[in-house]
Structure 1
């Protein structure tokens, strides 16, 4: 509780320094781009091109997905440790118009290209799972929701070019139930074994 309060105070101070906070909330949709550049970039990188696997790449992410996640952080519907540590206090200061503006800004950025290299056999296995699923375990093809090129579709996020470590961490929090805002992914995370999860993450990171 004390850490969350301290983070909220720090967030407000950073927003004020960026000239974006008035009283307790942001109120202008046009602040989205400025907020992304002056605050969000410290973790997610300029234009959403994160270099740290702690923080997801947001460039080219679907607008609907980003809006949904920011509302989930705001409403504490995402309860994993990273969400509580980094995003609960941040999102608490955003109104609906600014959430929409932030999501629109990131959705129009050029996506980060995939990382070349990696284990060819593991990547090939991940590609097969992505396009065909694991029928014996009841896992559907990832492409059926996330798009043939993992580009994302509406509420289903872009996964292409995402950090491998971040993808694996998200599968982990879906599996342990602390990220409970996507029931289908909870089922998928439980059905995939460790090697299969690693393979899919490696393939998506390479795209």
Structure 2
């Protein structure tokens, strides 16, 4: 009996491997909205409102942060597994003007509400976010990421972000596989597992 094996490949990877991605990028150039819809929405959701915790939400993210990360993927400054698997290939095809256009598009979107979690964890996470954990050498997250987690310039918006994505990034900072943010590597090293879980739960709820 003849058997057929079906392999499902993410659209971004498929477009990159077949070369179709370059055709779309060339066609749309600096039109961030069209490019986002064609190349980014499959993973990051419509208007950047990702439904999958595997992929970060991009809606209302700061444009400076998005530009820096896309260039980081392009230059292989971000080396965590997800970066290599999903972003290195497509980012290699983006010139500076296209990167800027995508960043401005996502920054201009309205952030969707976050998802509430365990009340006690959210409360603990809010305390750490706003005041840090001085005894453990953990500074207040709000001092860089904004009082409401809304982000500021190259410090990203964290409000409403998927909890599991935040925890994976903290681990990537901790093991230094994400090497383009030395300040966060130091913070993540001092943040214990329970504290990280609490902060991520709080931020997802914002």
What TM-score comes out, normalization by structure 1 length?
A: 0.90
Residue matched to 1:185: 184
Residue matched to 2:6: none
For 2:137 and 2:17, the matched residues in 1 are separated by 45
- TM-superposed CA distance for 1:15, in Å, is 4.5
Q: Deviations over 1:46-82 (max 9, x none)?
A: 0000000000000000000000000000000000000
Instruction: Report matched runs for 1:15-94 at 5 Å.
Output: 15-16=22-23, 19-21=24-26, 28-30=29-31, 32-94=32-94
SS of alignment partner, residue 21 of structure 1: helix
Partners of 2:44 and 2:58 within 8 A in 1: yes
For 2:197 and 2:109, the matched residues in 1 are separated by 27
For 1:10 and 1:91, the matched residues in 2 are separated by 13
For 2:19 and 2:155, the matched residues in 1 are separated by 31
- TM-superposed CA distance for 1:199, in Å, is 0.1
- Structure 2: runs of 5 or more not aligned: 1-12
Partners of 1:133 and 1:140 within 8 A in 2: yes
Partners of 2:15 and 2:21 within 8 A in 1: no
- TM-superposed CA distance for 1:11, in Å, is 6.2
Q: Compute the RMSD of aligned alpha carbons.
A: 1.5
Do the aligned partners of residues 7 and 179 (structure 1) sit closer, same or farther apart at CA in structure 2, a change above 3 Å counting? Answer: farther
Q: Deviations over 1:142-181 (max 9, x none)?
A: 0000000000000000000000000000001000110011
Instruction: Report matched runs for 1:127-138 at 5 Å.
Output: 127-138=126-137
For 1:206 and 1:130, the matched residues in 2 are separated by 13
- Structure 1: runs of 5 or more not aligned: 1-5
Do the aligned partners of residues 20 and 134 (structure 1) sit closer, same or farther apart at CA in structure 2, a change above 3 Å counting? Answer: same
Residue matched to 2:125: 126
Q: Deviations over 1:65-101 (max 9, x none)?
A: 0000000000000000000000000100000000000
Q: Deviations over 1:20-55 (max 9, x none)?
A: 336xxx7x322x211101110000000000000000
Residue matched to 1:159: 158
- TM-superposed CA distance for 1:137, in Å, is 1.2
1:10 has 2:17 as partner: yes
